[in-house]
Structure 1
Amino acid sequence: MGASIKDVARRAGVSVTSVSRVLNGEKYISETLLAKVNQAIAELNYTPSHIARSLKKQKTDMIGVIVPDITNHFCSTILSSIEKTASEHGYSLMICNIAEDLDKEYTYLQSFQEMRVDGILIMHQKVDERIVSLMESLTIPTLFTCVKSPLPSKRSVLIDDYQAAFDATTYLIDCGHRQIAFLGGDLRDITAGDARYRGYVDAMQTYKLEVDPRYVRFGDYKMESGRKLMSDLLQLQELPTVVFAASDDMAVGALNVALDYGLRVPEDLSIVGFDGSRIAEVVRPALTTIQQPMEELGRISLESLHALIEKQDTTVPPDLILPHLLVERESCRRL
């Protein structure tokens, strides 16, 4: 077994309290005491117990993060920003990739509770009755990021997905497109699924355009889903002039299939994405897309959660809505 704090105190010839003060970085410690304790730590190769310190401080400096799909370019970019900001505030992350499995999410939330993490960030909104009941019983500060919270007691940091999809569809109409296909996500997702679809539909109806059911397909935001849905669309005798995908990954999958079929993008078919992830910039032609402020989403989400942790405020402030931006690139043309 390794050395204990008592061993360090005995070797340094000081009290356990004095060693604890040094380990906690307290002010007004004499140079002599600091030298004695540090020498004893080095001689004994002592490593402080994180668990013991956490129990004493009533703080673990850990944040649990629930991610729906860590392979998704959007999720990985947000995570990078969250991790950077967490490090600046002295937190470590426990990242749990649930791969859309609600049983996994329930298990991870239980683990967060048992480990007494300081806070929880959740990046998706599919829940069942078990998860809702567990979340409502948690005393740990919890915040939803990039999605609307399914619980009125929890705050969200996100963009207005409905308005963003409405703006993207309006842009396509302004470009002269009338046959506009939509590749959407799961409508049970009230943010990325339902809100983006409603934005598309309402924009079409605002401009007195018919929503052709042949041009509306639903998948799961992944690249392979975009490939499959685009392959189905290309079996139609009359093709749309533009495809609006509910994620950049889906858009890239659709783009690859269109090119495989010998179509020129955007000359024969325009394609527009959603998210503004890195992949939208590196594909060719580069994607026109709705850009979410991903760095800010990650940073502000972590800072908002940190504020909840520090204040321990039981009131729920309103959701924080960040601005979106339509970025024109090479994949969409004006008719």
Structure 2
Amino acid sequence: MTVTIYDVAREAGVSMATVSRVVNNNPNVKPQTRKKVYEAIERLGYRPNAVARGLASKKTTTVGVVIPDISNAIFAEVARGIEDIANMYHYNIILCNADKRKEKEIRVVNTLLEKQVDGLLFMGGAVTDEHLQAFKTANVPVVLCATTDEHGVIPSVDINHEEAAYDAVRTLIANGHRRIAMISGTLQDPSNGYARYHGYKRAIEEAGITYDESLVRTGNYRYESGVEAVKYFLELPERPTAVFAATDEMAIGAIHSIQDAGLKVPENISVISVDNSRMASMVRPQLTTVAQPMYDIGAVSMRLLTKLMKKETVEQAKVILPHEVITRNSVGGVV
């Protein structure tokens, strides 16, 4: 049979109200009484009913997190930052994978709201009108994590993706490269896709390099699309001397595709990307990349959400964290 708060109270010889105060960490309980209640809880194997507590307090101390791809190391690092801060503030998280598919993202958001979460952290692709409508009817705080909405309506934590891409391409230009290809994410994605593409284009045009659409291929953020894009680039009448990939995973696919063709990185073709995932230092040559502070993005997002959930003063609802170019061995000068 399920052990109830009544059973604990009877075992400890105290009132149910006292057990409730102990379980909810109320300081107004004598140490010896608290010890007696905890001993009774342990003997009986009592587990507080979170649903019942949530109904009584109208708080579940639970946060819903929508993540685009749980198998991607980048998002795993964000989730770790979220989890650490959630633990610090005594929140539990429910993590849901949405595969960057709009219909699944909306469905997951609604499911989490049905679970009576106290707040939502959303990582995904484009924030559409359908997303905004779901967030508007949520009645709980929502923070965008590693993404933003174009109208700036929803609080968010991210980097400046356009500037990150711009800095990456400027690094190639500084090494003498003029024929620079890009492996982009989908341009419907405002961050990894369109913003990074725009940063690439702005950098080459400012350097007086004519934009050539044959040097841009759209990938799906995965290793295989980096491999296929480079196969295409190598078949051009004049191959690029450098490749900028919108993500590390596509960049590593590009490196391996270059090597499979009997060429060397960076001697024949340089490669740079944005992310600075753990894989960037594992590949050979090690990948030069623009670092996103992924752990910090998760941690700051969760801290911002705790402030909103507790109705604390929030001075800055749109947070842009710094990025930096991490120089390794995949970029060289033009021979």
In the alignment, what sits opposite 1:133?
133
Task: State the distance in 2 between where 1:312 and 1:116 align.
Answer: 21
Task: State the distance in 1 between where 2:24 and 2:11 align.
Answer: 19
1:63 aligns with 2:63: yes
> Bigger shift: 248-257 or 33-42?
33-42
Task: State the distance in 2 between where 1:322 and 1:129 align.
Answer: 26
Preserved contact between residue 152 and residue 318 of structure 2 (Cα < 8 Å): no
> Bigger shift: 286-295 or 32-41?
32-41
DSSP 3-state at the match of 1:259: helix
DSSP 3-state at the match of 1:311: coil
Preserved contact between residue 153 and residue 316 of structure 1 (Cα < 8 Å): no
Mapping of residues 35-184 of structure 1, within 5 Å: 35-150=35-150, 152-184=152-184
In the alignment, what sits opposite 2:324?
325
Task: State the distance in 2 between where 1:329 and 1:51 align.
Answer: 51
Between the aligned residues of both structures, percent identity stands at 38
Distance 1:38 1:161, change over 3 A: closer
DSSP 3-state at the match of 1:333: coil
* C-alpha deviation, 1:184, in angstroms: 0.4
What's the RMSD between the two structures over aligned residues? 1.8
In the alignment, what sits opposite 1:334?
333
In the alignment, what sits opposite 1:198?
198
DSSP 3-state at the match of 1:64: strand
| TM superposition score normalised by structure 1 | 0.94
Task: State the distance in 2 between where 1:327 and 1:306 align.
Answer: 32
DSSP 3-state at the match of 1:199: helix
Distance 1:175 1:290, change over 3 A: same
Task: State the distance in 1 between where 2:134 and 2:278 align.
Answer: 35
Mapping of residues 254-333 of structure 1, within 5 Å: 254-311=254-311, 317-333=316-332
Distance 1:139 1:236, change over 3 A: same
In the alignment, what sits opposite 1:225?
225
Q: Structure 2: give runs of 5+ residues left out of the alignment.
A: none
| TM superposition score normalised by structure 2 | 0.94
> Bigger shift: 162-171 or 248-257?
162-171
Summarize deviations over 1:274-314 as a string: whole Å, max 9, x none.
1111111111000011111122212111111111111167x
> Bigger shift: 159-168 or 316-325?
316-325
* C-alpha deviation, 1:63, in angstroms: 1.2
Preserved contact between residue 126 and residue 149 of structure 2 (Cα < 8 Å): no
Summarize deviations over 1:20-44 as a string: whole Å, max 9, x none.
1122222242345334433433443
DSSP 3-state at the match of 2:310: helix
Distance 1:320 1:70, change over 3 A: same
Preserved contact between residue 243 and residue 270 of structure 2 (Cα < 8 Å): yes
Distance 1:35 1:280, change over 3 A: closer
Preserved contact between residue 125 and residue 149 of structure 1 (Cα < 8 Å): no
Preserved contact between residue 161 and residue 195 of structure 1 (Cα < 8 Å): yes
Preserved contact between residue 265 and residue 285 of structure 1 (Cα < 8 Å): yes
Distance 1:42 1:217, change over 3 A: closer
Distance 1:163 1:280, change over 3 A: same
Task: State the distance in 1 between where 2:142 and 2:151 align.
Answer: 11
Summarize deviations over 1:178-237 as a string: whole Å, max 9, x none.
000011011111121111111111111111111111111111111111111112112223
